[in-house]
Chain A
């Protein structure tokens, strides 16, 4: 084996080692993958209106309105957002307790606003 070949093999081995190290490092330090849940709001319902989550699993709610301004409030978890037509509102959180929690529209939207609710169930 001539010198040129030896250098090439060494460089290749080093590069492979570096790359695998980088992959391992990246995996170890990557942010947990968020579960994305799409929710639509319209007079006077959320779809879906029942959502099951796992405790400790990060989620992002992507909420959009099909008609007018609404609100999304999940008080037990301490999150809320206005929900506007033509925009996606994102709410990120990681449930830290189990249970059944109500979410509701907290922007008055007409006759039926009071019924615009849903539930989040957080399991172990």
Chain B
């Protein structure tokens, strides 16, 4: 989101604040002992904030017909984020940071090179997660050495973020052990907690013939379903896609290396060729404006080149 857009949003939020406040009166506002207004329903929730999602950077990929600027696109994305006039609170990378290779040393080198490039981000807080290209061939060994845990949680301004690993098992399985961990974590959350799940593959069957699914994703969704405010952001499919499973919204992000065709739209899943008349078409990053009090997320797609 540009400074102009962000400022515009803040203005609107400021104007709308009164409306939100007014509408809140009927659902849990009261006076405390000092006479100030307390919003009991939203206790613990803080101000709006925004974060940036980057995905599927596939560092190490080579294919001039698909992306003749394979070595420059990630760097341009870093510049694009740095040029945002108001910087996000944090950045998330939703997997496939590197392109897969059978060579363990090349895999490690690609991860080091990736880290060097993203170290150029001005925002100090960056949350990483693995894609199958990073982690499926060695069950996440090199990834963990370079980036840390495959699954973890963090909290930010009243929102509980859960990073799920559905890639280190090459069969696209979350697995019983991680499911137990997830259920244990969810038990500690209120039923109306603001929960964001970050993962690589879709948790629902988007198009399994193209590997666009998580084999035990329905068990994850079942575990999340009792919670009222859950939103999932993921990558893997190299395009925007928005889907609901009950009240849970799932939003996929564009890639920063090559776009893929719409699910099932062509007989074989192959990258969309580079369009010289529209460089970087189909690639991009996104800003996500989180509004914890309303449990809402406003997504804005951004171009790689910020033009």
**Chain A residues within CB distance 8 Å of chain B:** 69, 71, 73, 75, 82, 102, 104, 106-111, 113-115, 117
Contact = CB atoms under 8 A, between A and B. Distances in A.
Nearest to A104: B209
A75 B208 contact: yes
B132 interface: yes
Contacts, number: 43
A110 B138 CA distance: 11
Interface stretch (B97-105, B145-153, B156-164, B218-226): B97-105
A63 to B, nearest CB: 15
B101 A106 contact: no
A110 B137 contact: yes
A22 B307 CA distance: 83
B122 interface: no
B190 interface: no
B187 interface: no
Contacts of A102: 209
12 contacts: A69-B170, A106-B208, A107-B171, A108-B137, A108-B167, A108-B172, A108-B211, A110-B100, A110-B101, A110-B102, A110-B137, A114-B210
A56 to B, nearest CB: 24
B170 A108 contact: yes
Contacts of A73: 208
Interface string B89-116: 0000000000111100000000000000
A114 B132 CA distance: 12
Given A114-B210, A115-B268, A107 B170 contact: yes
Contacts of B209: 75, 102, 104, 117
Given A71-B171, A117-B268, A111 B99 contact: yes
Contact of B136 (A75, A82, A108): A108
A53 B268 CA distance: 22
Given A71-B171, A110-B100, A104 B137 contact: no
B269 interface: yes
Contacts of A109: 170
Given A82-B171, A106-B171, A111 B100 contact: yes
A71 B108 CA distance: 26
A113 B99 CA distance: 12
A117 B136 CA distance: 19
A73 B211 CA distance: 10
A114 B269 contact: yes
Contacts of B132: 108
Given A110-B102, A115-B268, A117-B268, A104 B211 contact: yes
A107 B103 CA distance: 18
Interface in B271-290: none
A113 B236 CA distance: 14
Interface in B20-67: none
Contact of B211 (A82, A106, A110): A106
Interface in B167-201: 167, 170-172
Contacts of B136: 108
Contacts of B167: 108
Given A111-B102, A114-B269, 14 more contacts: A71-B171, A75-B208, A82-B171, A102-B209, A106-B172, A108-B100, A108-B137, A108-B167, A108-B170, A108-B172, A109-B170, A113-B211, A115-B270, A117-B268
